Structure 1
Amino acid sequence: MLRGDAADATDMRALAKVAKCVVSAAGPYGDNGDVLVGACAAEGTHYADLTGEPGWMRSIIDAHDATAMSTGARIVPCAGFDSVPADVGAFIAATELAKRHPGVRVVKVTSFLTKVLGGFSGGTLATGWRLAEDARERTSFCDVDGLVPGAIEGVTNAAQTPLAFAELEPTYNSDLDAWATTSPFAPCDVKVVRRTVSLLEGAEVGAEVGADAGAEAGAEVGADRVMPYANLSRFCYEGKLAAFELGTPVGWISCKATASLVEAAVRGAADEGTRTSMKAALPKPGEGPPEWFRNAGFWEMRFCAEGEDGKARVWTAMRGGGDPGYSDTARILAEAGVLLASGGGSGPVRRGGVLTPAAAFGDAILRGLEPHGITYTVDGDEPKGVWFSLPKIAKT
């Protein structure tokens, strides 16, 4: 066993030197991760973590992406529930549409968190407080292309729905018979998915595609893999919370109440006095929900990929039988570590660098998670198994 100080460069370099892969669960990463990521990048050691701190992720992209590319280190932040389901789920939905509709690129993917029961740990809340207190994190919060160096405001994000309080207003999805609001995970997930699109556009995609092969060239990988997304300026990802599968006023009220709570929490965390009161009342690091509650956890996410022709679309679904913030995020991170240690992952981007889960792993991570209760299904043109559905009225 090796012991070291996360802030000590010599200790972290010694750790990275003897490891194939380092898996870090020691957040907040803006406080504890800089030195370790730098050591892994320098030594060519793969790395994965559970961060949801976009400002910190941008800082490691700026500081270590070039080094990791040169050494072959694959640095994969956000390798837990935030943001593997969103990023990998969107990629698979887009890939499935590209297979079913050759030549049609995906211009939008919407994820819907339709079922969820889970708790927040004190450590997760501590990260949330840090996001509210750190100027870098506050600045990056609404920047949808905050993880895309070289992005141009108003150009690369021209088609992207903004991250704004106005987007919390409930919207109705007729396929799900559900009212939806912006997911609390969206501020991180949007940035990660859009970085995936950027990586697939500009990086070496697969073993048979050169570094100059961008999205517009098709970026074909073998016989059965294509670059599924339109270029970044034409692409939009939305993350929705739609655990209100009641196409009724009751569903709207539930959705509106949740949206109001999310807005109040974000605004409260941004105010120093309110944040102090919230810290005193909510769990501290090392605290969290009781075991019986964690054991009862589950979640479901549905994805709708839409093609540039305005007609093609594919619905898919991902489900987990564990608490998303505890057991299932641990399973996801562990599988990420296994893939990195056993060969670096088998995703569409094969080089080193600061990557995303979808770029590093593709669907391989879900194949490894299936025996552990995390599954993925392709539904087709419409979602299947909607738990509450009003009778469809035929259109005339």
Structure 2
Amino acid sequence: MELLQDLAWRGIIYQQTDEEGMKNVLNKESISLYCGVDPTADSMHIGHLLPFLTLRRFQKHGHRPIVLVGGATGLIGDPSGKSEERKLLTLETVQDNVSGIKKQLENIFTFSGDNGAVMVNNYDWAGSMDIVSFLRDIGKHIGVNYMLAKDTIASRLDSGISFTEFTYTILQAMDFNHLYQHHNCKLQIGGSDQWGNITSGLELIRKMQPEGSKAFGLTIPLVTKADGTKFGKSESGAIWLDPEKTTPYEFYQFWINTADADVVKYLKFFTFLSHEEIEKLAKSVEDEPHLRQAQKVLAEEMTRLIHGEDSLQQAIKISHALFSGDVRSLSAAEIKQGFKDVPSFEAGNESESNLVDLLVTAKISSSKRQAREDIANGAILVNGERVTDTSYTLEDSDRIDGQFTIIRRGKKKYTLIKY
């Protein structure tokens, strides 16, 4: 299937500046195109993924992706979607954030071959520009009335917008113009909130490049959830691509917990599965929703893409161990992932080796009497094994890798004992 038809089938296209023109160009030649991200944090989250995965789809069809990390625009702040000024970051912080984001983007794109991805940082051309050059060479081509008509700016006029954020759209327009001139970049992709910035870039190209120069813009819809809650959030917060912020196990669990009403849409948006594979999984959602086959495939595809095969297998192992209760099969590293958010207790003295005392001290049971009842009733499991002896004392063999003991009270209440 032709690329634009595939994007339309997946529901990825929100707006295009010139559908027919872009279709003609894509059918005739391989182009360079770009998408950017500002390094406002040291990691991207899954809300950043869809535009870059769309860029990767173009790469799979023979086009060259340019991945832009906004070392300059990250110092300014995009007014898009904000009701007040962003807190300005230091140059050092932004550069540190750039380093973290670059590593994540390297997992998504192929940087070798005839259409290998190119990574650029707009600080390289914007950071050294002096104010007079900016005003004379760039600012004179963008009218104030033109900028005031942009939704991202118009929505901030009542609450107030600084000249700094007011000029953000010009800086991003500079990016598109620079990439057009130096990389023959003919298309910018972005989220639906980037439409104003993309069209500013097209305006600057029209004004600054030779007559007849042609470039295009394409935006992608905002990812939503069927129940109205925000996509990309869990109970513990944003789902980051950095494994130190969101472990591969947590990442896997986020996707596997996708609602039936959303899973087919997410398979279309985020995976590179074929139409036939997705349609087969869609049928499984209708016919056998209890098997959650579509969710399993979605979780596997996304975890493999972002964290690699080894991390995926580790996440699956942790999931199976927690479902079956066989937590003793986990390593200390796997326990750190799977039990990251459960209550924990630092065991510090010999008296806590007595199970009854430990249950009380760690606040698993409310009193020694309750602790004895819990044990006698079979409500206490140590590393997945039920203990009914009220005189039970924990041994070194109860410490997984010498670091952890996992106590479970009832069906779901876990406590991680650390040594």
Q: Shorter-chain-normalised TM-score: which range?
A: under 0.3
Please tell me whether Structure 1 or Structure 2 has the larger radius of gyration of its CA atoms.
2
TM-score of the aligned structures, taking structure 2 as reference length: 0.25
Question: Is the helix fraction higher in 1 or 2?
Answer: 2
